[in-house]
Amino acid sequence: MTTKTATLSSTSHQALTEPKAVRWLLTGLALAFLVLFLVVPLAAVFVQALEKGLDAYWAAIIEPDALAAIRLTLIVAGISVPLNLVFGISAAWAITKFKFRGKAFLITLIDLPFSVSPVISGLIYVLLFGLQGWLGPWLSAHDIRLIFAVPGIVLVTIFVTFPFVARQLIPLMQAQGVEEEEAAMVLGASGWQIFFRVTMPNVIWGVLYGVILCNARAMGEFGAVSVVSGHIRGLTNTLPLHVEILYNEYNFVAAFAVATLLALLAILTLVAKALLEKKVRH
Amino acid sequence: MSIFFKQRSVLPGFGLTMGFTILYLSLIVLIPLSGLLFKTATLSWEDFWGAVASARVLASFRLTFGCALLAAMINGVFGLMVAWVLVRYRLPGKRVIDALVDLPFALPTAVAGITLAGLYAGNGWIGQYLEPLGIKIAYTPLGIIVAMTFIGLPFVVRTVQPVLEDMEKEQEEAAACLGANRWQTFVRVIFPAITPALLTGFALAYARAIGEYGSVIFIAGNMPMVSEITPLLIITKLEQYDYAGATAIATVMLVFSFLILLTINLIQWWSRRHAER
């Protein structure tokens, strides 16, 4: 809509952004979409949980099966997150500090668990360790139970959270290069000294970022854990499985009360993530 | 480590870290995954085909892949819009909105599932307004699309956003100077530049929706032939000790997921080559 007499600056200003009506429309649509799909569900969790008052809410959380589920969830995350942390650091060191062939392929393999459906992640461990599985007969002969028991839950959790730390660290350490480590080497530092004094301080926020995402998924995983858990109340029930059981028993207030614990974890994760993103970028 | 043809480096620890990486990767990922393929290989063709091509399984494939496609398309359109608004416009509370986009990654799927089912049920916050209009969402395929849209929401935003941020204003200025109006600039200059990212985000959202279980089953209704998704069918077969059937269906899904992964890699490779020219 520019006339020929308009100055260049006003021409480019008009042509470089959308008309006001379009801007309002786009902003409105985008916000409406986010409110409908994110804000309303998040609010609904808390409203439904507190529908029958604080006492009912609290009772659902301190009930023994709920406490057992909380304990198991903490144990599972407490084992799988540190293991994947060690793996992530080790893989990132090998991949970013050395040159070798097949590097891209190795990175693809590490990312693989993200493209496997949670249900299939559970299934592959049932096929391996279940009673009819490859190692099933040997395991039952030695009285070892992995499936429908805690070790199976830990294993599938490790699988579904496998890439988190590595995928955060690899690009970060790649960008950092090897000069600082090589300089430390020349100055006579040992391998561990280089790692803890030179590499770690540079990537510590990135490591934390990966650990937080890894932990959120480890505590919240449902599909894969549901396949291998056997749903034994008080024994092999993690928090998400406990939510499912309560919901299927039409005990909605209790289900949503327990769900608020996981929703709070999600909110904490998002806050920590936003804070760390600033640190990682600078 | 001779298979890797490592080039000489002064830094220590290659053998240790690479050895541990390969060992851990094999134990946790490669051996269990190949177990699935071996199990499939032990099935006869008739068994495999019988398990995969039964009417109930085919209906679940149609439902899962179809709903996932629609959900990914919704996310393609609105994800682009959200990314655009977040990068280009001034907005109060932008950091909070930006952080909130990742909620579907952080919120456990079971929580998302029961919440969406509650909201869209006939007496729910949203469902109560739709029911008089004759629209039923919970316990129908529409509910599946809603859950899949929720779970795939961050992908398109997070792939398109950095590309929009990095885009140089000069190209748009050049287009404007050459007389293009804003719509022409968007279609001819901006859109081609973000297309690879948009396609990648779309494919990621699609792949995630196909495999999704937790957030879908509560809202789906789970009626065989109508609203039963494939991951649920795998679990049903497992609970009936039909390991062969579960394995065959899982293999089809897995192969499909890997094809999507390959497509994503091709898009990335193509866009990198395009950028270098």
Verify that B29 and B56 share a domain, yes or no.
no
Same domain? B65 vs B120: yes
The reply to whether B103 and B37 lie within a common domain is no
In a domain, B3, yes or no: no
Q: Between B275 and A223, whose confidence is greater? A: A223
Same domain, B124 and B175: yes
Chain A neighbors of B28, CB-CB under 8 A = 155, 158-159, 162
Distance (Å, whole) CA A268 – CA B197:
29
Q: Mark whether B90 and B141 lie in a shared domain.
A: yes
Buried b or exposed e, range B66-89, using 16+ CB within 10 angstroms: ebbbbbbebbbebbbbbbbbbbbe
Instruction: Give the tens place of pLDDT for each residue, B143-175.
Output: 999 999 999 999 999 999 999 999 888 888 888
Helix and strand numbers, DSSP H then E, in chain A? 16, 0
In a domain, B203, yes or no: yes
B194, part of any domain: yes
A259 CA to centre of own chain: 17
Phi, psi of B13 (to 5 degrees): 95, 5
Å between A56 CA and nearest CA of chain B: 19
The ipTM of this complex is 0.91
Residue A217 is predicted with a pLDDT of 96
| Residues in B 63-122 with any Cβ partner in A closer than 8 A | 78, 81-82, 84-86, 88-89, 91, 95, 97-116, 118-119
B4: in domain: no
The dihedral over CA atoms of A238, A243, A248, A250, expressed in degrees to the nearest 10, equals 140
Nearest CA in chain B to A12: B176
Of A117-131, B5-19, B32-46, B257-271, least confident by mean pLDDT is B5-19
Measure CB to CB from residue B13 to each of A93, A110, A113 and give the nearest one: A93
* Same domain for B67 and B28: no
Q: Is the pLDDT of residue B59 over 60?
A: yes
Whether B195 is covered by a domain: the verdict is yes
pLDDT at A282: 56
Residue B234 with chain A: CB contacts under 8 Å: 119-120, 123
Eight-class DSSP state of B7 = P
Mean pLDDT of chain A: 90
Q: Find all residues with CB under 8 Å of A178, minimum gap 6, and list them.
A: A96, A97, B9, B11
Geometric angle at alpha carbon B127, from B228 and A53, rounded to 5°: 105
Of A34, A87, A227, the CB nearest to B82: A34
Question: Is the CB of B33 inside 8 Å of chain A's CB atoms?
Answer: yes
Give the model confidence (pLDDT) of A63-88 as tens digits.
999 999 999 999 999 999 999 999 99
Q: Which of A131-145, B3-17, B174-188, B256-270 has the least mean pLDDT?
A: B3-17
Q: Cβ of B243 and A132 within 8 Å?
A: yes
Nearest-angstrom CA–CA distance, B234 and B211: 11
How many domains would you assign to chain B? 2
Query: For residues A258 and A243, is the Cβ–Cβ distance under 8 A?
Result: yes
Residue positions counted in chain B? 277
Q: Are residues B37 and B108 in the same domain?
A: no
Residue A1 pLDDT class (50, 70, 90 cuts): very low
Count of CB atoms situated within 10 Å of the CB of A172: 18
Using CA coordinates, name the residue in chain A closest to B74. A33
Least confident of A37-51, A63-77, B54-68, B256-270: B256-270
Interface contact flag, A127 B101, Cβ < 8 Å: no
Interface test with B, best of A2, A155, A217, A222 (most B CBs within 10 A): A222
CATH number for B252: 1.10.3720.10
Closest-CA residue to A117 (of A226, A262, A280, A213): A226
* Inside any domain, residue B118: yes
The model's pLDDT over B195-251, given as tens digits with 9 standing for 90+, comes to 999 999 999 999 999 999 999 999 998 999 999 999 999 999 998 989 999 999 999
Question: Are A120 and B24 a contacting pair at CB < 8 A?
Answer: no
Is the pLDDT score of A16 beyond 90? Answer: no
What confidence score (pLDDT) does residue B214 get? 94
In a domain, B180, yes or no: yes
C-beta contacts of B19-28 below 8 A and 24+ residues apart: B20/A86, B20/A87, B20/A90, B21/A87, B21/A90, B21/A91, B21/A94, B21/A95, B21/A106, B24/A87, B24/A90, B25/A91, B25/A109, B25/A110, B28/A155, B28/A158, B28/A159, B28/A162
Query: How confident is the prediction for chain B on average, in pLDDT?
Result: 92
B180 contact A CB<8A: yes
| Partners of residue A130 in chain B, C-beta under 8 Å | 243
Side chain identity at residue A276, one-letter code = L
Taking only the tens place, the pLDDT of each residue in A204-224 is 999 999 999 999 999 999 999
- Assess whether B27 and B98 both reside in one domain: no
Q: Quick one: pLDDT at residue B110?
A: 96
Predicted pLDDT at B1: 44
In this prediction, residue A136 carries a pLDDT of 86
Residues B26 and B91 in one domain: no
Residue entry with tokens 């071996």: B38
Largest CA distance in chain B: 73
Q: Name the helix (H) or strand (E) containing A262.
A: helix A252-281
DSSP, res B189 = I
Q: Say yes or no: B134 and B31 in one domain.
A: no
Residue of B nearest to A250 (CA): B114
DSSP for A121-147, please give it: HHHHHHHHHSTTSSSHHHHHHTT---T
- Range B85-108 average pLDDT: 94
Give the range of the structural domain holding residue B35, as residue numbers without chain letter: 11-41
How far is residue B232 CA from its own chain's centroid?
A: 17
**How many A-B residue pairs are in contact by the CB < 8 A criterion?**
293
Confidence of residue B277 (pLDDT cuts 50, 70, 90): low
Percent of chain B with pLDDT over 90: 73
Residues of A with Cβ-Cβ distance to B103 under 8 angstroms? 38, 42, 266, 270
d(CA A169, CA A94): 12
Is residue B138 within 8 Å of residue B120, measured between CB atoms?
yes
CA dihedral A183, A189, A195, A199 (to 10 degrees): -30
Q: Is B120 inside a domain boundary?
A: yes
Q: Are residues B18 and B56 in the same domain?
A: no
Are B185 and B249 within one domain? yes
Distance CA B117, CA B182 (A): 41
Tell me whether residues A30 and B81 touch, CB distance under 8 A: yes
Q: Which residue has the higher pLDDT, A216 or A176?
A: A216
Looking at residue B5, what is its pLDDT? 58
- Residue B56's CB is within 10 A of a number of other CB atoms, namely 11
Q: What angle do CA A24, B188, B78 make, to 5 degrees?
A: 40
Residue B180 has a pLDDT of 86
